[in-house]
Amino acid sequence: MVSHPFMAKDVPKPKPYKGSRNAREIDIFLWSMKVYFNAVGFQDDASKIQVVPLYLEDIATLWWRR
């Protein structure tokens, strides 16, 4: 993890993705996750993949589980 001048608890969490097929919503979710990972210092893909399901809801959660 990369050291940042602020603590991870101060970083706003991304809004959950519910599975909409709207390209704009998908793009915003992916961008917000990228910004979040950079802010909290996640660099390796394995850590990122473990965190993403925490920000999925509804149909997106079902999709992830399959």
Q: What is the pLDDT of residues 24-44, one digit of tens each?
A: 999 999 999 999 999 999 999
Please, which contacts does 43-46 make with residues 24 or more away whose CB atoms are closer than 8 Å?
A: 43/1, 43/2
What is the 8-class DSSP label of residue 17? B
Of 1, 30, 3, 4, nearest to 15 by C-alpha is 30
A 10 A CB-CB count for 43 gives 10
**pLDDT above 90 (res 7):** no
The mean pLDDT value for 15-26 works out to: 96
Spell out the domain ranges in the chain: 42-66
- Cα–Cα distance measured from residue 12 to residue 39, given in angstroms and rounded to the nearest whole number: 9
Confidence of residue 3 (pLDDT cuts 50, 70, 90): low
- Record the pTM: 0.81
